[in-house]
Structure formats: C-alpha cells, structure tokens
Amino acid sequence: MTDTTVTDTTGPEALTHRRVLRIAVPIVLSNVTVPILGAVDTGVVGQIAEAQPIAAVGLGAVILSAIYWIFGFLRMGTTGMTARAAGQGDRGEVAALLTRSLMFGLGAGAVIVALQWPIFAGALGLAPASAEVEEMSRAYMGIRIWSAPAAIGLYGLTGWLIAQERTMAVLAVQLLMNTVNIALDLWFVLGLGWGVEGVATATFIAEWSGLALALYLCRAAFRDPAWRDWGRVFDRVALIRMGVVNADILVRSLLLKATFLSFMFLAADFGDVQLAANQVLLQFLEITAFALDGFAFAAEAFVGQAMGRGDRAGLRRGALLTSGWSIAICVLLALFFALAGGWLIDVITKAPEVQQAARTYLPWMVAVPVLGVGAWMLDGIFIGATRSRDMRNMMAVSFVVYVVAAVTLVPPFGNHGLWAAFLISFVARGVTLLIRYPALEAEADQVAVAKAA
C-alpha cells in the first residue's frame, strides 16, 4: 500500500483487465471474511452451553446492523464524489471530501450513542424475546454502541479509499478488524469468562482499531493543508451536493430494503418450511453479491474518474470492462448453482423438509446471477457518476413493478410467483437504469466541453 493522497487517475495509466482485478479481488476477499466473523462470534458464545447468550448476541447484532445499514449511503456517495474529484485532478476537493465524510460519520455515530436508550427501547419493544434475552441484548448493545462513530466513520473512509482504487487498504482494515475481534472473542469469552459482554467488548475494540488503521492509511491526505481548509470543507454548494446525493441513495436503499422485507413477510404466509427454504436460498443471493461487489466498486471508481475528466470513451470502457467480468462471474455462478446447488442447500440446512422445499425453488437461484447482474453493475456505474437521482427514481419504478408483479403472480402461483416477482424487480432495475445510461455519456461530453472552454 502506497502512502499517497490520491491515485493519479488523470495520467496515462490504461484501463486494463489487470487494473480491474487489482480493485476487485481485494474487495471479494474482504467480503469472504465477513461471514467467518459472524460464525466465530456465534461459536464462541455458543460454548457457554445456553441458548440465551446466543439469542442475545444475535438479536443485538441484528439491531445494530440495521441501524448502521441506514448510513450505507455514506460509503456510496463518498466513492462517487471522490472519484469525480480525483478525475478532475482536484486534490484539494479530494482531501476536503475525506474530512466531510469523516465528520459526518463520527457525528452520526455520536448522535446514535446519545439516543441509545430510546433506540434500544424501540427495537426491543418490537422483538419477541424473553426478559433474560432482552437483558443480555441490552448489555451487549450498551457496550457496542460506543463504537458507532467508528463503524459509521469507516463507511466514509472506505468509500474514499475505493474511489482511488486503494482496495488493498480496505482489505487490510477488514483483516485487522476480524483478527482483533476473533482473538479478543476467544480471550474475553473463553479465557476470562465475560460472556455476552466479552463478545461486545471485542467488537468495540475491533471497530475502533479498524478506524485507527484506516486513518493511518489515509495519513498522506492529512499532510495536505486542504483537509483542514474549513472554507472548502464547509463550502455551501459542496455540502448541499453531498446532502442531495446521500439523501437520494438513502431513499433508493430504503426501497430496496422494503423489497427484501416484503419478500420475507409474504413468504411467511406459505408456512415455516417454505419461509425457511427461502431464507436458505437467499444465501445464494448473498454469494452472488459478494462476488460482484468488487467489480461494481471498480466501476464506481472508473466511471467517477472518467466523469471528472469528461472522458466519454473512458466512461464507456470502464463500464464495459467491469460489466464483462461481472457477466462472466455470473455465468460461472449460475453453472455452479445448477450443478452444486443441492449440495450447498444441504450444507446450509440439515432439516430434510427444508432441503426438499429449497430444491423445489433452486431453478430461481440459477437465474438470479444472470438476471440480476445488470442491476448490480449499473448501480455501481451510476454511483460512480453520482447520478443519485436516477438511482432513486429507477428504484422507485422497480419497486412499483415488483408490487404489481407480486399482486399478480403470488395468488395463482404461490412461492414460485413470489420468486418471479422478486427477480422481475431486479430486471426492472437493470432495464430502467440502462435506459438512463446515455445521459451519463452526454454529461461526460458536457464536462469535456466545459473544461475546453
């Protein structure tokens, strides 16, 4: 990892397959470590040989993850805006964006810490847990909540690093956090017998350690006086732009979350077995997302830089090169799911009735990578271009299409109809964004004309 404020993306470096993989592979590897950490958390607390601690950690982690997820827009918005500034060669704005995103993340985390009691009360009030599990969950969240500024601040720093193609730095941060978390889990829980509080303390220390490493990896930016040029950092136009982009992405993300939640709620009407089968099959979707994230992030960086330069050809090449890799990966995933999907189902669940039900709907999983690749990659392309309004509007259209499809297909076809509606929403998102793609190239032309004037 080089100690640079910003990768020189305005230079002659060609956009090659090697460059795509240099960005994508570390992100894919980083994603692979995420479920490992969750498994260790559960496994360590499971050594207590009681159900309540496992349930408490699971419940508390879900609540905090849902809260932090709301701020995922900070990662996406920061990537797009930083990539554009880097493409323009505006190193001062790149540094200012680092400060803005960090201040927003730390500030949002501080607000969550201040509001922890009503947040916990509201969340646990909705959760059907026993008094003992609720008490343990409060203890768990009461410790972990103090690392909210670090967790949310990392969204901004991660987006800033991705925009400059420094995904090895992102991988290093993830590996450090996981290593610290796992080591302290073992020490605090198995060695010191701290139980649920030990798991929470381990995560608290890991998240602050991750933020510290991320800041260290960004240290060159803090040698540039622009990071504390408060006139630039608090520039009214830049702040409004940041607010609009992030608000649009938040609305888009909430609509996407509503699609997933309604999918699960509707599946609940078909009984416990089919609900469980759908939950198993959603892991196939997670695998696909993990595999494609790296290439979508590469698209964010390439497209944002090209938009900043006003480089129509570079924008198109970045979009096509990353999408080509994604399509190839998705074809391989579809083949893997077709050939080994039954085995994967058996690995995930040991309940015979759930295994049988999941196999019934396995063909939909074979279709997921192929039908969903457009939505995943175009999301990355539009994030890089900071065309957040298009993302918001096309997601709204896709959500309406999903609702209409569900209302039409679920009554006659049951769970098959629900899966069809779900996949139709992915296709709708991809198609509607593709229709808007020419506007990106037109905007790149406008930037080029403005720069030449």
Give the model confidence (pLDDT) of 163-197 as tens digits.
999 999 999 999 999 999 999 989 998 888 888 89
**pLDDT-based confidence at 65, cuts 50/70/90?**
confident
Residue 162: CB atoms within 10 Å: 29
Closest of 216, 213, 230 to residue 95, by C-alpha: 230
CB hemisphere CA count around 280 (13 angstroms): 28
pLDDT of 2 higher than 50: no
At 11, the amino acid letter reads G
Across residues 139-157, what is the average pLDDT? Answer: 94
* Cβ contacts of 328 within 8 Å, gap of 6 or more: none
d(CA 82, CA 78): 6
The residue with greater pLDDT, 106 or 277, is 106
- Tens digit of pLDDT for each residue in 12-26? 478 899 999 999 999
Domains of the chain by residue range:
1-234, 247-453
**Distance in angstroms (rounded) separating the CA atoms of residues 254 and 260:** 10
Q: CA of 300: how far to CAs of 27, 82, 136, 407, 422, in Å?
A: 13, 10, 41, 35, 25
Cα separation, 177 vs 159, in Å, equals 17
Q: Which residue has the tokens 């960090």?
A: 102
The mean per-residue pLDDT over the stretch 389-411 comes to 96
Q: Where are the alpha helices (DSSP H) in 269-311?
A: 272-309
CA distance to 28, 136, 141, 173, 321, per residue, from 31 (Å):
5, 29, 24, 12, 22
Lowest model confidence (mean pLDDT) among 318-332, 349-363, 388-402: 349-363
CB 278 within 8 A of CB 13: no
Which pLDDT belongs to residue 445? 94
Q: Tell me the one-letter amino acid at 47.
A: Q
> Which residue in the block uniquely carries the two structure tokens 């509001």?
115
Region 417-424: mean pLDDT is: 96
Question: What would the pLDDT profile of 208-266 be if each residue is shown by its tens digit?
Answer: 999 999 999 999 888 888 888 898 899 999 999 999 999 999 999 999 999 988 998 88
pLDDT band at 51 (very low <50, low <70, confident <90, very high): low
What is the pLDDT, as a whole number, of residue 11?
46
Q: pTM for this one?
A: 0.89
Instruction: Pick the closest to residue 394 from 381, 412, 407 (CA basis).
Output: 381
CA distance 355 to 352: 5
Residues 32, 293 contacting (CB under 8 angstroms): no
Band of pLDDT at residue 6, cut at 50, 70 and 90: very low
The dihedral through the CA atoms of 30, 34, 40, 45 has a sign that is positive
pLDDT exceeds cutoff 90 at 153: yes
